[in-house]
Amino acid sequence: MNRRHLLLSVGLAAVGLAGHKAAAETFEVTLSDEEWRKRLTPEAYSVLRKEGTEYPYTSPLEQEHRKGSFACAGCGQVLFSSETKFDSGTGWPSFYQPIRPEVVGTRLDGALMMTRTEVHCARCGGHLGHVFEDGPPPTGLRYCMNGVAMTFTPEA
């Protein structure tokens, strides 16, 4: 293989990865696009259903320090506990683990010409954010979530 073919192959592979979407998954909560638009605020719809990202430091949940739980704004499934929330300095609510492993799903995200691990609600498929391997003990993970994709319920 000459250099031209090698570069062409690498370039095509990168374009393929950037456009890659995981095979369609099925979720317990499935609504039409119109139903999601009616249920969610425009900002929540953009993040949960179109994989958008809110601006850093704009979510009130980033500064939420009370004891309680964080749930999916799309379907209400509890995702994270305040006990695992930490200040990552990124401007988004961050957690070192979900409340139970099965409440979130992950898949590779090749958008923006980089590979990240996308996190979604396992019940409705709503995009929540990304998980990175630069978090605190005990997991070493940082679940960097969009606040608009979640709701908070204080502990009684």
Active site residue 144: yes
Residue 9 pLDDT exceeds 70: no
Mean pLDDT of the chain: 87
Catalytic residue among 72, 75, 124, 144: 144
Query: What band does 35 get if pLDDT is binned at 50, 70 and 90?
Result: very high
Interatomic CA distance for residues 33 and 63, integer angstroms: 31
The predicted structure's pLDDT at residue 18: 39
Per-residue pLDDT tens digits for 71-84? 999 999 999 999 99
Tell me the residue ranges of DSSP E strands in 25-148: 68-72, 78-81, 85-86, 94-95, 104-109, 116-121, 127-132, 142-145
Sign, CA torsion 60/134/69/87: negative
Q: Which amino acid is at 107?
A: R
Per-residue pLDDT tens digits for 101-136? 999 999 987 666 678 899 999 999 999 999 999 999
Interatomic CA distance for residues 122 and 124, integer angstroms: 6
Cβ-proximal residues to 115 (8 Å cutoff; 6+ apart), any chain: 17, 108, 109
